[in-house]
Amino acid sequence: MAELAIELTGVNKYFGEVHANKNISFAVAKGSIHGIIGENGAGKSTLMSILYGYYQADSGSIRLNGQEVRIRNSHDAIARGIGMVHQHFMLVDTFTVLENIVLGAEQGVALKQSLQAARDHLAALNRDYGLQVDPDAIVGELGVGEQQRVEILKALYRGADVLILDEPTAVLTPQEADDLFRILRLLKAQGKTVLLITHKLREVLDITDAVTVMRAGEIVGNVVTADVGKEDLADLMVGRKVNLQLDKAPARLGKTVLQVSNLSLTDARGVKLLDDVSFELHAGEIVGIAGVSGNGQSELLEILSGMREASAGSVRYNGTELTTLQTREPKAAAYRRLGIAHVPEDRSREGLVKDFSTFENAILGYHDDPAIQRGLLFNRKAIIERCRRFISEFDVRPANAFRRSGLFSGGNQQKVILAREIDSDPQLMLIGQPTRGVDIGAIEFIHKRLMALRNAGKALLLVSVELDEILALSDRIIVMNAGRVSGELPAAQATATELGLLMGGHK
């Protein structure tokens, strides 16, 4: 048996009544890449937070390199050679790479000495791991992939032997992800240990040596990657048979529902967020918009749903010009009345009010509906009944209309939003990141619902950063890069590689 870098035995963590980690025991071999997968809320993040010292385990032991340790805070973790690359980078945008790396690890009084020492050290790290980061570049001007490498450098600079990466590819193009994997392999070759937290099965299969699968706070499997396939892992994660393949009947296109022409959006600083975007959408089809997040997809959804005004261009919906539409109420309300439903990208910040009970969120945006008014007050009974219908039709768990929405898992929150929007019987459905932070079981369900909507002759515009999702659902794919449409192709002919190149604007 190889030497062990990390060994956890019987680790438990409670949050009040919630048993977030149940009796966790697993070991990671030194110099390996170890994947930790599980649905949202399976306890991966809690476990990693225990390793990195954010939380203390209520019981159990942690051994690093064979030695029992107590990790009280992140300083402890760093001192013991554990480094963490967060999903959201912890960098100061206006500082250079070098300054960011030294930040918090300065030596002596004068910054200059620290910087010079760091510069030499960094050059060595850069060389050893092929990271190719310019130490004098301003972090804010770097691409996402490079910023991530700065985070990795930061951890290595602090002497990390164990590197924890939390969903590292969530913000990367496929090519950037490949670059990252190349670096991780180099790290492994140099004897570093990598812990990779992810929910993307393909990545786990590609790069890890061993995988720990978590479900509902427990470990349900410790497997050698070479011995398993995608389906096996998915089944383990969900705890039942999962059908990852979606039945896609040929699309029966109807009339043109949406016609976007030369749409542009310039922000206050004069930056073009959308640049001359044009496309069409027909009844009975799903058009997927692929792209790394932050390339104009969000702004496009905001304009089409009436939450934001375009700077130029036209949007025709069922023959009505939307950009010049005169309304007394806010446009978002008017569009909804015209039959445009919207599942927003940022579910918890836009799609619902976390502090509301679920029945209150079941009417958000449709609170004007005469069916739920009774004189000057709401017809509370009708609202609760409607919410109960949503809950049973969309299998929301726990089935409690009075529970605060914020207490539900991401998948169940999304089901409530989806139920609400589908229930309005829309002509056009705008959907942003339908399955972000949603567990596999719910993804399957949500995809089936969206497909059913398309087969019922509705027009769907799908924005997602998950290429697999775009490929599985769409009939046609539009790729966006830097606010422009960088390509449009039928889904049947699209491959991940080709889309990746278009997403990076390389074509």
Partner 1 sequence: MSQPSNLPRWATLWLMPVLNLFAALLVSGLVITLIGEDPVECLQLMINGAFGYPEGIGYTLFYTTSFIFTGLAVAAAFHAGLFNIGGEGQMYLAGLGVTLVCLGLDFLPGWVVIPLALLASMVFGAAWAFIPGYLQAKRGSHIVVTTIMFNFIASALMTWLLVDKLIMPGSQTPATRLFAESAWIPMLHELAANLGVELPQTPLNATFFLALLALVLFYLMVWRSHWGYTLRTVGLNEKAARYAGMPVSKVIIVAMCFSGALAGLAAVNELLGSTHRMNLAFTNGIGFVGIAVALMGRNHPFGILLSALLFGALTQGGLDLSFEKPAITHEMIILTQGLIILFCGALENLFQTPLALAFKQMTKR
Which tokens sit at 361? 């969120």
Q: Which of 360, 466, 469, 475 binds partner 1 (CB under 8 A)?
A: 360
With contacts defined by CB under 8 A, how many residues of the chain interact with partner 1?
Answer: 41
Q: For the chain, state the CA radius of gyration.
A: 25
Question: Do 56 and 2 meet the contact criterion of CB atoms below 8 Å apart?
Answer: no
> Which span (77-85, 227-235, 283-291, 362-370) binds partner 1, by CB under 8 A?
362-370
> Which span (87-95, 147-155, 196-204, 331-339) binds partner 1, by CB under 8 A?
331-339
Q: Which of 15, 75, 134, 239 binds partner 1 (CB under 8 A)?
A: 15
Going by C-alpha positions, the residue among 468, 460, 459, 462 that lies closest to residue 499 is 468
The H or E element that residue 493 is part of is: none
Tell me whether residue 2 is exposed, middle or buried, using C-beta atoms within 10 angstroms of its C-beta: 0 to 12, 13 to 18, 19 or more.
exposed
Is residue 17 part of the contact set for partner 1 (CB under 8 A)?
A: yes
Is residue 346 part of the contact set for partner 1 (CB under 8 A)?
A: yes
Is residue 54 part of the contact set for partner 1 (CB under 8 A)?
A: yes
Shortest reach from residue 442's CB to partner 1, in Å = 21
Tell me whether residue 369 is exposed, middle or buried, using C-beta atoms within 10 angstroms of its C-beta: 0 to 12, 13 to 18, 19 or more.
middle
Which tokens sit at 269? 């600083």
| Shorter beta-carbon distance to partner 1: residue 336 or 454 | 336
How far CA 296 is from CA of 110, 147, 328, in Å, comes to 43, 20, 28
Is residue 329 part of the contact set for partner 1 (CB under 8 A)?
A: yes
Q: How far apart are CA 433 and CA 410, in angstroms?
A: 12
Q: Which of 137, 325, 353, 489 binds partner 1 (CB under 8 A)?
A: 353
> Which span (144-152, 155-163, 214-222, 367-375) binds partner 1, by CB under 8 A?
367-375
Question: Do 274 and 323 meet the contact criterion of CB atoms below 8 Å apart?
Answer: no
Q: How far apart are CA 460 and CA 449, in angstroms?
A: 12
Cα 182 from chain centre: 22
Q: What is the DSSP string of 411-477?
A: HHHHHHHHHHHHHT--SEEEEE-TTTT--HHHHHHHHHHHHHHHHTT-EEEEE-S-HHHHHHH-SEE
Shortest reach from residue 176's CB to partner 1, in Å = 27
The H or E element that residue 204 is part of is: helix 201-207
Is residue 351 part of the contact set for partner 1 (CB under 8 A)?
A: yes
> Which span (113-121, 139-147, 305-313, 470-478) binds partner 1, by CB under 8 A?
305-313
Is residue 380 part of the contact set for partner 1 (CB under 8 A)?
A: yes
| Shorter beta-carbon distance to partner 1: residue 246 or 333 | 333
Q: Which of 21, 49, 173, 481 binds partner 1 (CB under 8 A)?
A: 49
Q: How far apart are CA 256 and CA 346, in angstroms?
A: 28
Which tokens sit at 218? 């427990």
Q: How far apart are CA 321 and CA 261, in angstroms?
A: 11
Which residues ranging from 384 to 443 are in contact with partner 1 (CB under 8 A)? Answer: none
Shortest reach from residue 270's CB to partner 1, in Å = 21
Q: Which of 355, 393, 395, 425 binds partner 1 (CB under 8 A)?
A: 355
Q: Which of 307, 325, 382, 482 binds partner 1 (CB under 8 A)?
A: 307
| Shorter beta-carbon distance to partner 1: residue 125 or 332 | 332
> Which span (3-11, 217-225, 267-275, 303-311) binds partner 1, by CB under 8 A?
303-311
Is residue 378 part of the contact set for partner 1 (CB under 8 A)?
A: yes
Shortest reach from residue 436's CB to partner 1, in Å = 16
Q: Which of 61, 314, 323, 373 binds partner 1 (CB under 8 A)?
A: 373
> What does the binding site for partner 1 look like in residue numbers (CB under 8 A)?
14-18, 49, 54-55, 305-307, 329-336, 342, 344, 346, 349-356, 360, 363-365, 367-368, 373, 376-378, 380
